Structure 1
């Protein structure tokens, strides 16, 4: 009997060899099919050179609610090394006496359109207003790195990182990009390494006004929701096809770069940044996100966030808010100047944002206005806690909080030395470091960066 088994086994092996059967054993690993690149335009950012630096005798806001009076902060090799009442300075470190001054993490603007047009606020490249569903467009492919708004945000505003978003003409506006606020020839040389992309979405008046005026859908808020849901249904099917191909092989599905973005959202790789003013629409979007299995990172503008702060807390969604912009359209009408402190007091995540080339230079003053408005109604939030609205919370909502947004050892040394209390209208950035490199020094004319566009342009007092 044994000889029969051996003979049959031999015949089977011979048959496999003769027919070219290359089937593997069940235990052999399956090679994953080659898919498309998730990062075809990678960051080429390299930190500028810096030197070990210790700042002494300063008030420190660490970005996560901590405060150190008469403290010291040390950074080297592009990273925060230590902070406290005293630190052990490295040999040869530059020492800066900050008596009477403050140190904070660099400000992060979650909502900017710098570079998406020409100087003076022209926003011509920010909206691909040709279809309400345009997730295939990427903001970085419109950004002009020589926009002088970048250096003004750095020198006047202490902004070290920012997110550039498409506009809000469309329900699906396209991908955002996170940048380090450094001078560069290309957008890729500014791209924050490892930062996830965002998807800009928009509720409310803008999409229905743009497309309703053309007698297209959506022309109503119910049309907005219907088009959103139809699109997510298609995105789920696209994801199923590609997931199956990457898991099992076979013929690759037809590629669609619009649905590549939506698949990334459904997979948790791309963060939803949702323009939305009114409370009931934020609630609808939260339910829609549950229906289709994605998460909203932040509602932007969020004029009525104070009405649904409990929902924002429950679903861990940040509200990116202005201090006192209101009334410029109906959905921005029911605003209160205490929006930020009310949302914060409810335990939800608050972010101070700009959406403006001038506002980005004064974000710390915007936060100060909201802080004061809250105190006048009895919500007493400490200054050091409110600083989280400007650094840690936006970093969290942009998916970069493990790298920046607070002065914690090991994080990027994105640091601002202020010449006074940063919540005072009289205060300005004195020095700004990005990854430990001194990018701006108010006391040194050689450390006041200008863009290539500005070089040779007439300045104030020049003959025109």
Structure 2
């Protein structure tokens, strides 16, 4: 359970044939049937046994109460390439209804917020988070992010490890993060499914689950999967062993998908058919081959990215995003051609061999090549300051003359991760019809001094730096000393 403040009322203000034989007194003879008996229809498989159940488990997310609001006078970064000075953003019924300059019409009955001197951006989206699956405090009892039991654990789902009481969610919200993609770890070639969460206080994972967001499949290339199992004399222990593992898995998945397709085709024709046994591992992989699940691929080195692209082409699936990707600058034209995003940091380099050639200007160089750039965290502290990490990357690019503007760099932590997570039609930019996911900053968000003063999710105030009623705590934090406002 979460605690919002002194009373629940403070939040509620933001609002919600029987047949018989004929006889003649003698023994009746059965009548000849006029037509052959109809075949009994086969009963459908229970949902849990049918291979199409891979669409996933339901979300119970419901937006918090909100009220129509117009933010007036701020510098607005829309994440569509615009910076609007003295801008206006209008939110109603949880959706953005208008964005523009001072001439923008404000509907009657809308509460006006004077935002002069402030900056407004879309809510920050962290495309690579382990909050909830590696929660704070970091103890073994809650270490649920890596199913390090086999090179292929595509059958596990990160949502089944999420602990919604992780205090890290509250810390991230105080840094402007409104949406997160929670990934399983990278000990495996196939680590399992990701889940996308709305960063709202909730007693259950289902209450945070982003409605309609597609699943991702976490894959990993490079050092991690080959070192975890090589010491146990289990494949893989080399880079070529990694690639064999991917290819074998995709062959098995394609065969599995064909069996289900053949079964359904026969059923549609009224032919006798036995359903294949449902296999959760192959079901996830088959979902990728059918384009239903997005591939989120941990991969540092440029040459290994090129190999992963070859594997994807062999089996007809698409890589959505390379994660960590510190060498994307080496293959930036290839990534632009293939339409693959690179999720990276600005300055996390040199901490292991595959990160040795990282450069601070990586993100800017990829952007300059016309490819999609994302700044992610992979860290419970950095997720609180993704705006600053994007600022470092932007500044590094501008030092070598690229001229990256704030209007472009804000996309790296908003619109682009939304695109790579399959939710760009719902959030990630300030456009009419999209969710009212908004951050009001004290100053230029690319300044080290900027603070997220207010955070709105679907138009509802979910964090206010100056109002303790909107500084929620998890049950885990209750009664602990020093748990005041986030600073």
Q: Does 1:135 align with 2:154?
A: yes
1:460 deviation in Å? 6.4
2:340–2:371 CA contact under 8 A, matched in 1: yes
Instruction: Name 2:123's counterpart in structure 1.
Output: 106
- TM-aligned CA distance change 1:248 to 1:439, over 3 Å: same
Q: Does 1:314 align with 2:337?
A: yes
2:135–2:167 CA contact under 8 A, matched in 1: no
Instruction: Name 1:232's counterpart in structure 2.
Output: 250
Residues 59-70 of structure 1: pairs in structure 2 closer than 5 A:
59-70=75-86
TM-score of the two chains, using structure 2 as the length reference:
0.88
Inter-partner Cα distance in structure 2 for 1:390 and 1:428? 16
Inter-partner Cα distance in structure 2 for 1:106 and 1:449? 18
Instruction: Name 1:96's counterpart in structure 2.
Output: 113
| 1:286-320: CA deviation from partner (whole Å, max 9, x where unpaired) | 11001011111100000100001111111111000
Q: Does 1:458 align with 2:477?
A: no
1:94 deviation in Å? 1.5
- TM-aligned CA distance change 1:40 to 1:304, over 3 Å: closer
Inter-partner Cα distance in structure 2 for 1:248 and 1:413? 47
- TM-aligned CA distance change 1:346 to 1:17, over 3 Å: farther
1:450 deviation in Å? 1.3
Q: Does 1:368 align with 2:391?
A: yes
Aligned length: 442
Segments of structure 2 that go 5 or more residues without pairing to the other structure are: 1-30, 268-272
Residues 278-427 of structure 1: pairs in structure 2 closer than 5 A:
278-427=301-450
Instruction: Identify the range of structure 1 (438-447 vs 300-309) with the bigger mean alpha-carbon deviation.
Output: 438-447
1:87 deviation in Å? 2.4
1:166 deviation in Å? 0.3
1:64–1:387 CA contact under 8 A, matched in 2: no
Instruction: Name 1:444's counterpart in structure 2.
Output: 467
Q: Does 1:19 align with 2:36?
A: yes
User: 4+ runs of 1 displaced by more than 6 Å?
Assistant: 30-34
1:321–1:352 CA contact under 8 A, matched in 2: yes
Instruction: Name 1:116's counterpart in structure 2.
Output: 133
1:32 deviation in Å? 9.0
Instruction: Name 1:171's counterpart in structure 2.
Output: 189
| 1:25-61: CA deviation from partner (whole Å, max 9, x where unpaired) | xxxxx99987342344210000000000001011111
Inter-partner Cα distance in structure 2 for 1:66 and 1:213? 52
Q: Does 1:151 align with 2:170?
A: yes
1:32–1:247 CA contact under 8 A, matched in 2: no
Inter-partner Cα distance in structure 1 for 2:67 and 2:260? 47
Instruction: Name 1:277's counterpart in structure 2.
Output: 300
Instruction: Name 1:76's counterpart in structure 2.
Output: 92
- TM-aligned CA distance change 1:92 to 1:245, over 3 Å: same
Instruction: Name 2:70's counterpart in structure 1.
Output: 54
1:213 deviation in Å? 1.4
Inter-partner Cα distance in structure 2 for 1:247 and 1:164? 36
Instruction: Name 2:451's counterpart in structure 1.
Output: 428
Let me know the Cα RMSD of the aligned residues. Answer: 2.0
2:54–2:284 CA contact under 8 A, matched in 1: no
Instruction: Name 1:10's counterpart in structure 2.
Output: none
Inter-partner Cα distance in structure 2 for 1:160 and 1:79? 14
Given candidates 255, 258, 266, the residue that maps to 2:281 is 258
Inter-partner Cα distance in structure 1 for 2:151 and 2:337? 30
1:216 deviation in Å? 1.1
Inter-partner Cα distance in structure 1 for 2:95 and 2:389? 28
Inter-partner Cα distance in structure 1 for 2:227 and 2:377? 23
1:18 deviation in Å? 3.9
1:235 deviation in Å? 0.4
Instruction: Identify the range of structure 1 (117-126 vs 417-426) with the bigger mean alpha-carbon deviation.
Output: 117-126
Inter-partner Cα distance in structure 2 for 1:15 and 1:224? 68
| 1:160-195: CA deviation from partner (whole Å, max 9, x where unpaired) | 000000000000000000000000011011000000
User: Secondary structure of 1:19's partner?
Assistant: coil
Inter-partner Cα distance in structure 1 for 2:257 and 2:326? 34
Inter-partner Cα distance in structure 2 for 1:149 and 1:16? 72
